[in-house]
């Protein structure tokens, strides 16, 4: 019998399994699909501090950035996972937006964020192919990128205490005396001392199997992928076309938005494979995977407005994913006070890749009774304790 069953083999579930096993626990990681087959496989791999307001989530992100650096160092011996500490550049269309960005950066500095103002005439030093006319920007050297599917796979295989069971759908939560004692799957029961809900966008459905409610909803987003560019990673003979993660200030606003409607903002970054990733869109349309050509066209126009050279580059594919949106914009991390033995690690929206290591670390520390590295209370499932519950 494993000490822990982790439901969901995306980036967050992989990190929960990794850190729990590192603490000496035996772990069974289950997923009805494949490793990184859900939201993780549909993301850009962002590890960001630049898009977060000062507060609990930014504190999480700062610790997670450090953990990502440690994990990347460890993973080099097994091939790595394309960790790129490339930094992020946020650009402002006018002086008013630049003042708002500068004010935000000043507040973020109190949490340890490094933010460097970039004057309009200095933008080309950082991004030579950026369109002219921007009022300036803020450079965030702590922002990074990973290949999310590769990173999840590396973590799953990194520690010997983890047993992976893909193609295994969880159909129920085993309970005895009001306490979780394992999971029921289509192929049999798996008893365990604790269960971790790392179901991402489906975290609410998994919580419901234990009779509790988590208000997690899918928030769809599209990404365009260009053809590989020659002359190095996403560049030409003069160097990379895009050197950082580059986005406009509207991206920060959209991340914090509660709107159900479509929102798009220009986000452009390169990959080690030579492609350029173009985002980002957000809309709440349930689990509708219908490809929206108008949304893709809008993303393409916004990307060309940032980098005019992209007008001559072909898009070779597009894909969509569903961010696990929580109405208060904070992830759900920790023990559920309504059902002893059940832990949650979901609801990260678009920050799941970046916050995965710190989420896994906190869950492992809470399960083992160790002192958490930071206060988990703002992310506690207890904030939903007023929701109706039943026991099986």
pTM: 0.94
**256 has a pLDDT exceeding 70:** no
Question: What's the average model confidence in pLDDT over 364-372?
Answer: 97
Q: pLDDT confidence of 386, banded at 50, 70, 90?
A: low
Q: How far apart are CA 210 and CA 8, in angstroms?
A: 16
Residues listed for the chain: 392
State pLDDT tens for residues 242-252.
999 999 988 77
Number of H helices, E strands in the chain: 9, 21
Backbone angles phi, psi at 106, to 5 degrees: -65, -40
CB distance 347 to 214 below 8 Å = yes
The one-character DSSP state at 124 is: H
Question: What's the average model confidence in pLDDT over 189-193?
Answer: 98
Report the candidate in 355, 352, 374 with the shortest Cα–Cα distance to residue 365: 374
Residue 257: the pLDDT is 66
**231 has a pLDDT exceeding 70:** no
State pLDDT tens for residues 259-313.
778 888 889 999 988 999 999 899 999 999 999 999 999 999 999 999 999 999 9
Q: How far apart are CA 102 and CA 90, in angstroms?
A: 10
State pLDDT tens for residues 329-342.
999 999 999 999 99
29 class by beta-carbon count within 10 Å (0-12 exposed, 13-18 middle, 19+ buried): buried
Q: How far apart are CA 163 and CA 159, in angstroms?
A: 10
Residue 77: the pLDDT is 80
Question: What's the average model confidence in pLDDT over 194-209?
Answer: 97
Question: What's the average model confidence in pLDDT over 342-356?
Answer: 97
**390 has a pLDDT exceeding 60:** no
Question: What's the average model confidence in pLDDT over 35-42?
Answer: 94
Q: How far apart are CA 70 and CA 73, in angstroms?
A: 5
Question: What's the average model confidence in pLDDT over 11-20?
Answer: 98
Residue 241, number of CB atoms within 10 A of its CB: 24
Task: Give the mean pLDDT of the chain.
Answer: 93
Residue 233: the pLDDT is 45
Backbone angles phi, psi at 299, to 5 degrees: -60, -40
CB distance 152 to 33 below 8 Å = no
Please count the CA atoms within 13 angstroms of the CA of 276 that sit on its side-chain side. Answer: 33
**What one-character-per-residue DSSP string does 345-363 give?**
EE--GGGHHHHHHHHHHHH
State pLDDT tens for residues 87-145.
999 999 999 999 999 999 999 999 999 999 999 999 999 999 999 999 999 999 999 99
Residue 289: the pLDDT is 92
Share of the chain above pLDDT 70, in %: 95
Residue 389: the pLDDT is 39
Residue 391: the pLDDT is 34
């Amino acid at each position: 019998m494993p000490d822990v069953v982790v439901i969901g083999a995306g980036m967050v579930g992989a990190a929960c399994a990794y850190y729990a096993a590192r603490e000496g626990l035996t772990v069974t990681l289950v997923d009805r699909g494949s490793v990184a087959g859900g939201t993780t496989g549909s993301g850009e791999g962002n590890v960001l501090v630049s898009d977060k307001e000062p507060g609990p989530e930014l504190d999480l992100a700062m610790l997670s950035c450090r953990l990502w650096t440690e994990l990347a160092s460890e993973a080099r011996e097994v091939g790595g996972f394309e960790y790129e500490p490339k930094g992020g550049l946020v650009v402002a269309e006018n002086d008013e937006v630049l003042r708002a960005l500068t004010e935000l950066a000043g507040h973020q500095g109190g949490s340890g964020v490094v933010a460097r103002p970039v004057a309009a005439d200095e933008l080309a030093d950082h991004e030579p192919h950026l369109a002219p006319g921007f009022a300036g920007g803020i450079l965030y050297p702590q922002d990074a990128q990973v290949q999310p599917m590769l990173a999840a796979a590396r973590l799953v295989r990194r520690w010997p205490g983890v047993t992976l069971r893909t193609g295994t759908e969880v159909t129920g939560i085993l309970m005895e005396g009001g306490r979780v004692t394992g999971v029921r799957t289509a192929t049999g029961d798996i008893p365990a001392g604790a269960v971790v809900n790392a179901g991402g966008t489906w975290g609410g459905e998994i919580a419901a199997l234990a009779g509790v409610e988590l208000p997690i909803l899918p928030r769809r987003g599209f990404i365009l992928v260009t053809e590989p560019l020659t002359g190095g990673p996403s560049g030409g003979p003069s160097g990379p076309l895009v050197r950082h993660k580059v986005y406009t200030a509207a991206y920060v606003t959209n991340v914090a938005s509660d709107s159900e409607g479509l929102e798009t903002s220009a986000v452009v970054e390169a990959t080690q494979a030579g492609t350029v990733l173009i985002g980002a869109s957000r809309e709440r349309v349930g689990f509708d995977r219908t490809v929206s050509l108008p949304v893709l066209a809008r993303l393409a126009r916004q990307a060309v407005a940032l980098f005019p050279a992209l007008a001559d580059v072909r898009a070779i594919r597009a894909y969509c994913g569903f961010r696990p949106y929580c109405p208060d914009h904070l992830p759900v991390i920790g023990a559920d006070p309504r059902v002893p033995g059940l832990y949650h690690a979901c609801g990260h929206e678009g920050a799941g890749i970046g916050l995965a290591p710190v989420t896994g670390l906190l869950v492992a520390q809470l399960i083992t009774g160790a002192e958490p590295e930071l206060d988990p209370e703002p992310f506690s499932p207890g904030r939903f304790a007023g929701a109706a519950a039943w026991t099986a």
